[in-house]
Structure 1
Amino acid sequence: MKNKKKILFAVLNWGLGHATRSWELINNLLNEGNEVILASDGVAKEFLMKEFPQLKMFEVPSYNIQYGEKGNILPLIKNGLNTQIAVKREQVWLKRFLKKQKVDLIISDNRYGMYCSEIKSIIITHQLNIKVPILENVVNAQNHFWLNRFHEIWVPDHENTLSGELSQPIPSKLMNKVKEIGWISRFKKSDTASEELILAIVSGPEPQKTILIEKLVPILKNLDHKVILYTGNPNENKEEIHGLLTIKSHDSTPEFIKNIQKAKVIIGRPGYSSIMDYWVLQKKMILIPTPGQFEQLYLAKHLFVNHNVTYTQQSLLSFATLRRLLCENRIEI
């Protein structure tokens, strides 16, 4: 980007994944001398405000994404309706914003309503083909309609390694707009030697985030192994120590990078942004898909079949299950 630009960078609040991967792109834009204005909500907004306190931050409408305790199909329908409403509210917000602020470029990390026909608008997403158990054609018709409003579609993957059928084949109407930009992560592979550390990272929407934490804590306490569990709450600063288990609400990026680089194996959700982080660092993974989040189940199976990554469903998670998966990853317990 040779000419300095004023850029609106809008980030979806769906746990911390979209915010953490946007960290790298925002840093790059700032290093190029661009002026960046941020827009988000919820924990994503809290994270970005902590990481970039010098930047202007605007609150934007929430998508209100949730997954029920049983992981059935009803939350999927509700989330679809919430997304429809949020996209319309985003457009209203953006039109008001652009009356007061002039920008040269809009970059949206998975926010479908953050586009303007008169300003170059780019969306970052790997979801060209959404995986759902019902009405998949209808869902993807709507998805493609929204994506087609953007001038460019940036897919964060390299030769379709991680996203599989989610980004290939490219729908014909989007073919000229899609561009692979490689994996984006705030982490870089280092020569730091792995230690005997198990890292568990819980992220994503409630109530399933808390449900997984409550299942993991007693299991991790019983492991005769050093473990750090991150609960993904950037607006808190809590730390608890239970024997070899340390529970942290959040960490600064440098401290988190240090721990993730030391880890022998990472336990966590197969959110796409998380997978990119672990892949870039060449870390072993034990993935636990969010119940009802069908894309995560697809990604876990895709990585299992094509890259020997281990996973288990949350309902099957137990001390015995986790011990077996750790052994499969050559972690002695």
Structure 2
Amino acid sequence: MKRDFSVKIQDDEPMNHLKQSNKTILVAPLNWGLGHATRCIPIIQALLDHNYVPIIASDGNALELLRKEFPYIDMFELPSYHIEYSKTDKYFKWKMLISIPKIIKAVLAEKKLIQQWITKYEIDGIISDNRLGIYSAKIPSVYLTHQINVLSGNTTWFSTQCHRYFIKKHNECWVPDVAQDPNLTGNLGHVKNTSLNIKYIGPLSRMKQKELNKKYDLMVVLSGPEPQRSLLEEKLKNEVLKYKGKVIFIKGIVEKTQQNETFKNVTFYNFMNTKQLEQTFNESDLVLCRSGYTTVMDLVALQKKAFFIPTPGQYEQLYLAKKLENEGLLPFSLQEDFCIEDLSKINNFSGLPKIDFKTNWNDLFKVFEKM
């Protein structure tokens, strides 16, 4: 039986001063997989609905995805953090450590850029999704994250303190979850004592649940940095051919042109836009995917049962997968252990609960009206 933890917040009609705003807000998601970019989509849409003028800055696949979603919005390229995973989780932390100089260089570069852009493009506010150099003391700055605590094994305290150092430079920290227990992020997004100005804004998703006829028995959705995305793709390409049912397989590679091919019982796509993804999710019975937090929020919105394969070495995804399995909601398997027969375990879990949370954008956007 599903647990229903509901929070109802009424979203009032836009206030007059918000209707007349026309302020320019920079939205800058991190290019680490596609989750940071996709969870910014409902924020960008809310800004448009409340008469703000969003502009977008990112790099790589994240920028390309948002360009396809909002072709009429100004886009700017930021320096890449050059985040890459190791081929095995054993060397994940070492790979991240040797990437630190590149990340610092990118953070310093984007920090310099943002100061120039504020004047050049008359930016009135900032929403940074885990981009460490995107903030300013001159204008209201908001930091979007679900990781107040950054899990990294025996270096968790250090990685958490480093992250909070940057969060504190912003006026507010928006956490896409509910404040009370039970919640989705657990220890990642909740702390007992902190000086951070945290606001829980409810789960974010660009998806909506729809009653559509079932077209696929299984939907496979890949995401995340290389080489782990490709490694999982190669593994699952072989596994899904053993599946007794119709499969749609989205590789998570954002390219200029959408491509698809069908082999036996499986239809492959390189990527899908939001409208196509939403329809395909609603037409699918089960989902096989990573346990990234944005994916968790999408599954909550769509009320879909899923099976998780956490990215090797990514402590956050492993924590979320274990948390949801221990709560009897969704099962998971380590990447090296997964076989297609594991999907039968889904029947023993209740699925993610429905969360009735109406984000009050009027209240959240007040931060941009204070200067």
Q: Same fold (TM over 0.5)?
A: yes
Residue 194 of structure 1, CA deviation: 4.6
Residue 237 of structure 1 and its aligned partner are, at CA, apart by 1.6
Quick one: distance in 1 between partners of 2:158 and 2:75? 35
CA distance in 1, matches of 2:98, 2:259: 33
CA distance in 2, matches of 1:135, 1:326: 33
Q: How far apart are the structure 2 equivalents of 1:221 and 1:197?
A: 13
Shift of 1:141: 1.4
Aligned counterpart, 2:5: none
1:121 aligns with 2:141: yes
Question: Is 2:132 the partner of 1:84?
Answer: no
1:134 and 2:168 equivalent?
no
**1:81 and 1:280, CA in 2 relative to 1: closer, same or farther beyond 3 A?**
farther
1:232 to 241, 246, 252: 252
* Residue in 2 that maps onto 1:157: 177
Higher relative contact order (CA 8 A, sep 6+): 2
Q: Which residue of 2 aligns with 1:53?
A: 71
Identity fraction in percent = 34
Q: Deviations over 1:231-266 (max 9, x none)?
A: 011214221101110110112322211110122111
Change (3 A) 1:247 1:196: closer
1:128 touches 1:170 (CA, 8 Å); kept in 2?
Answer: no
Q: Which runs of no fewer than 5 residues in structure 1 stay unpaired? A: none
Report the AA paired with residue 125 of structure 1.
Answer: T
The letter for the 1-side match of 2:98 is K
Among 300, 321, 324, the residue aligned to 1:303: 324
Match of 1:62 among 60, 80, 99: 80
Shift of 1:138: 1.6
The answer on whether the counterparts of 1:265 and 1:329 sit within 8 Å (CA) in structure 2 is: no
TM-score, scaled relative to structure 2: 0.84
Aligned with residue 333 of structure 2, among 312, 316, 321:
312
Matched, 1:243 2:243: no
Q: By how many angstroms is 1:79 displaced?
A: 4.2
In the alignment, is residue 274 of structure 1 matched against residue 295 of structure 2?
yes
Matched residue SS, 1:316: coil
After superposition, where does 1:1-333 map in structure 2 within 5 Å? Answer: 2=18, 3-72=21-90, 73-159=93-179, 161-174=183-196, 177-192=197-212, 194=214, 196-235=216-255, 236-320=257-341, 322-325=342-345, 328=348
RMSD of equivalent CA atoms: 1.8
Q: CA deviation at 1:196?
A: 4.8
List per-residue Cα deviations over 1:90-137 (Å, max 9, x = no partner).
Answer: 211212222312111111111121100110000110110011113222
Could you tell me the TM-score, scaled by structure 1's length? 0.93
Query: In structure 2, the residue corresponding to 1:106 is in which secondary structure?
Result: strand
* Aligned-pair CA distance for 1:15: 1.1
Q: Which 10-residue stretch deviates more, 163-172 or 309-318?
A: 163-172
Q: How many residues align?
A: 327
